Amino acid sequence: MSLARKFALGVLVVLLLLLASAVAAALVMGIPRNAAGMAARSVCSAAFVAGRAPESVFAADVLPASPALAAVRVSVDPAARSVSGTFAGLFERTARHVAGRGCVLDVPATAAGAPTGAPARPVAAGPASARRDAARPWPQGNLALEPARWNEAGDVVDAARLQAVVERAFVGSGDPRAANTRAVAVVHQGRLLVNRQASGFDAETPLHGWSMTKTVTAMLLHKRAAERGLDPARRVVDSFGPGAGGPPAWAAAWQADGRAAITLDDLLFMRDGLANEESYAATGAVPRMLFGAADVAAHAAAAPAEAPAGTRWRYLSASTNIAARVLRSHFDSDAAYWAWPRQALFEPIGATSAVLETDTDGTWIGSSYLWASSGDWARLGQLLLDDGRWNGQAVLPPGLLARLARPAVAAGEGHGYGWHAWRIGEPDGGMCTGQVPPDTLAMRGHWGQIVAVVPSRRAVVVRLGWTFSRAQFDGCAFVRDVLAALR
């Protein structure tokens, strides 16, 4: 064999070894399995919860999210309300729409059953005019006031300025390379001034809130804790109830080490000290939890203690899912747990589009998977603004607003964060310091979701989108510009 051929063969062997190493690493990190799961869940939820066309969801929401997803193909079964995702023809995951649980990965077909409560929206649902509440004024429906009426109740709204801000927000809608705004809603003095959607969406379309779900999970915990006499300052290991499986298996391991000191408040303030991370890359911790773990709480709780509880702030989706598992144990059955968000929170305020999805095991994915229309996200913001009251009735116990606004730590990193809400106007550490009033709180979610609540201005500002590049959307500037028109 000539020297040149030996050299070429050697190079080929090295390349094959590198390829094998890359494939092995991908398998170890779960990339093929997680990518198939992400595609299946995303298309299933958008099709059977939001009523969108599956092919447009895959092209607009899934493929641009990561290069790894280019190897995934999806198939939809409308009759079974399921979507399968297959990575390179080898790794298949299936998500099914399950009664009361939204779309769930890897559950058997027998789990889907018949829908309970609000039915799933069909694929490619018809025009909003054909569906309930579409033409009724908010908050009974989702219809916003005409600009000519914006100042009739004594408000001083600069109509031209507000309309210009909203118009700018929709530049690039439908383009995944741009800001790609999908909905904007503005509430001032309890009146919905704006509720606009991009082409392909309407006032009844549930939109994915991503991490805005965390704040809603905190609202639910606030209510259930009051009902059950559960003190959030209590240790997690002492906080489990006797229902819905009781304490999970991982609670015993926590009892035996430093994790025993972690309180529910530590989870809600993001200061539990666990060695979890918040990474959204294809190999990141969040995709491994959301799309790789059948039990998201157990996956999160398996992390060892890295810092003493209460001493370090770190934003973590994992922390929320542990708290959601604690809540699950305070219901007599899983069916009661799954139905409770709708019964206790969504229906009392008319948020009929809202769906909180679960993991395979049955725990709410409280970190990331609430879907709701822009009008319903505005309702949730207004409920927070009014400290849990709706039409004069207490939907949530008083003290919610103050609890969420309390700083997670006395100073330094985390001072701009509260009890599962962002203190974006906080002069010391708020991400929007100097642009919005100091009392501004916000729900914030991946890819540009925001519900800003401004008590001093009696305003709620909602923006939902699918913004892959952070540079394309400045949430602080958007809220600032909207408030500037509400003089």
Kindly report the average pLDDT of the chain as a whole number.
91
More confident residue, 398 or 153: 398
Amino acid at 362: G
pLDDT for residue 29 is more than 60: no
More confident residue, 22 or 383: 383
213 burial class (0-12, 13-18, 19+ CB within 10 angstroms)?
Answer: buried
Q: Is the dihedral of CA 378, 100, 336, 299 positive or negative?
A: negative
**Per-residue pLDDT at 130:** 38
Distance of CA 159 to the CA centre of its chain: 31
More confident residue, 326 or 14: 326
Check if the beta carbon of residue 295 is closer than 8 Å to that of residue 245: no
**Per-residue pLDDT at 126:** 39
376 burial class (0-12, 13-18, 19+ CB within 10 angstroms)?
Answer: buried
Residue 153 CA to residue 140 CA, distance in Å, equals 19
pLDDT for residue 11 is more than 50: no
Q: Which residues contact 97 (CB under 8 A, 6 or more apart)?
A: 44, 48, 49, 81, 82, 103, 104, 112, 120
Check if the beta carbon of residue 263 is closer than 8 Å to that of residue 235: yes
Question: What phi and psi, each to the nearest 5 degrees, are found at residue 372?
Answer: -160, 150
Residue 141 CA to residue 133 CA, distance in Å, equals 4
Q: Per the omega criterion (within 30 degrees of 0), is the bond before 248 cis?
A: no
**pLDDT tens track for 220-255:** 999 999 999 999 999 999 999 999 888 999 999 999
pLDDT band at 1 (very low <50, low <70, confident <90, very high): low
More confident residue, 205 or 121: 205
How many CB atoms are closer than 10 A to CB 364?
31
- The residues pairing with 451 across neighbouring beta strands, listed in sequence order, are 443, 462
Residue 100 CA to residue 85 CA, distance in Å, equals 22
Residue 115 CA to residue 101 CA, distance in Å, equals 10
Closest CA to 287 of 298, 278, 274: 278
Q: What residues does CATH 3.40.710.10 cover in the chain? A: 207-485
Strands (E) in 370-456, as ranges, are: 370-372, 389-390, 393-394, 441-445, 449-454
**Per-residue pLDDT at 5:** 63
Residue 279 CA to residue 276 CA, distance in Å, equals 10
CATH architecture, domain 207-485 = 3-Layer(aba) Sandwich (3.40)
pLDDT for residue 114 is more than 70: no
**Per-residue pLDDT at 3:** 60
**Per-residue pLDDT at 122:** 55
The residue with tokens 């999908």 is 182
pLDDT band at 14 (very low <50, low <70, confident <90, very high): very low
**Per-residue pLDDT at 16:** 38
Question: What phi and psi, each to the nearest 5 degrees, are found at residue 373?
Answer: -70, 165
- The residues pairing with 192 across neighbouring beta strands, listed in sequence order, are 187
pLDDT for residue 6 is more than 60: no
Distance of CA 307 to the CA centre of its chain: 27
**Per-residue pLDDT at 120:** 54
Mean pLDDT value across residues 19-34: 56
**pLDDT tens track for 127-163:** 333 344 567 899 999 999 999 999 987 778 999 999 9
Question: What phi and psi, each to the nearest 5 degrees, are found at residue 482?
Answer: -65, -45
pLDDT for residue 124 is more than 70: no
The secondary element (H helix, E strand) that includes residue 484 is helix 475-485
**Per-residue pLDDT at 25:** 37
**Per-residue pLDDT at 442:** 98
More confident residue, 85 or 113: 85
Amino acid at 99: A
- pTM, to two decimals: 0.92
pLDDT for residue 24 is more than 50: no
pLDDT over 70 for what percent of the chain? 89
Check if the beta carbon of residue 179 is closer than 8 Å to that of residue 172: yes
Closest CA to 295 of 105, 432, 167, 125: 105
pLDDT band at 363 (very low <50, low <70, confident <90, very high): very high
Amino acid at 348: P
Check if the beta carbon of residue 369 is closer than 8 Å to that of residue 105: no
Closest CA to 461 of 165, 92, 91: 165
Check if the beta carbon of residue 484 is closer than 8 Å to that of residue 161: yes
**pLDDT tens track for 52-68:** 999 999 999 999 999 99
- The residues pairing with 443 across neighbouring beta strands, listed in sequence order, are 451
487 burial class (0-12, 13-18, 19+ CB within 10 angstroms)?
Answer: exposed
Check if the beta carbon of residue 47 is closer than 8 Å to that of residue 57: yes
What single-letter DSSP state applies at residue 85? E
Amino acid at 40: A
Check if the beta carbon of residue 352 is closer than 8 Å to that of residue 313: no
pLDDT band at 210 (very low <50, low <70, confident <90, very high): very high
Residue 86 CA to residue 68 CA, distance in Å, equals 12
